[in-house]
Amino acid sequence: MLDNQEDRVAVLVDCDNTSPEILEYALRVVAQFGRVVVRRGYGNHATLANKWQEALVRLAFTPCLQYQYASGKNTSDIALALDALEDLFDHRAETYCLVTSDSDFAYLCRKLRERGSMVYIVGEKKTPDALRNASDQFFEYQPPESESIKAQPSKVKKQRPKALVDAVSLLAADASEDWVGLPVLGQYMRRTNPGFSPQQFGYSGLLEMIRTYPELVTRKDGASHWVQLKGRAEREE
C-alpha cells in the first residue's frame, strides 16, 4: 500500500544544458523520494525540437518554450527558477529535482533549501562543485558506453578517503557504545558531500568499502550493520 503522505516531487529540466537521454535516469532517481507531480522541460525553440520533443512527449513532460529576446540571453533559466519558487509558495511540491549541469542554478538550490525543501541535482560529469554542493544530493549521469569502450572495460581504482574515518569518529561521540549505524553514516557522508557514493571509489556498496579500512571494525545485529573505530572496540574487550 502506498504512503498517502509521500512527498510531492517537481522535476525541472534545463533542456538547453543537457541531453534527452538523461530524462529516464532522472525519473528513476527521484522515484525513491516521492510522487512526481510536476514534470517540465525548459528550452528555446531550437532545443525543444527533434529529440527533445520526442522525449518530453513520451515521458509526459510539459514543454516550457522560451524565446530568446536578445542574442546570448538565456530566458529559460529565469523561467525555470521563477516556476520553482512559484511551485514552492503554492505548495505544489516539497522536493525538487533539477536536471542540469549549469552552476547558475546554485543560488536557486540554496533558496529552496532555506525554505525547507529537499533539492536533488541530476547532472553530467561537467557539473561544477558549486552546483553539486548546493544540493542535498547530487547524482551523476553516465552516458551509455559505445561498443568500442565496452570492449575495453576500465576499472575504478579503489580508494579509502580519510573523510569516512573522520565521519565515524565524529558520529561515534554521540552514538550508543560508540557504534554507528550504516544508514546514519551514509546519510552523513551525503550531507557533507552531496556527490558521495561508494561506487566512485571503486566499491559496490558502503559496507564493502568500510571493511577495507584497517581503522574500522563492523558488526551485524539482525539485519543491521554497525561500524566502530578499531581502537575503541579493543578497549571494550
Strand order, beta sheet including 224-229: 180-181, 224-229, 216-221
Mean pLDDT, the chain, as a whole number? 86
Q: What is the pLDDT of residues 52-98, one digit of tens each?
A: 999 999 999 999 998 876 665 678 999 999 999 999 999 999 999 99
- What was the pLDDT predicted at 31? 87
Residue 150 burial (10 A CB sphere; 0-12, 13-18, 19+): exposed
Q: For residue 190, give the amino acid letter.
A: R
Q: What is the pLDDT of residues 197-218, one digit of tens each?
A: 888 888 888 999 999 999 999 9
- Name the 3-class secondary structure at 231: helix
138: alpha, beta or left? (left if phi > 0; alpha if psi -120 to 50): beta
Share above pLDDT 90 across residues of the chain, in percent, rounded to a whole number: 51
Greater confidence (125 vs 192) lies with: 125
CA distance 39 to 62: 6
Residue 175 burial (10 A CB sphere; 0-12, 13-18, 19+): middle
Phi/psi of residue 67, nearest 5 degrees: -75, 150
**pTM exceeds 0.75 for this model:** no
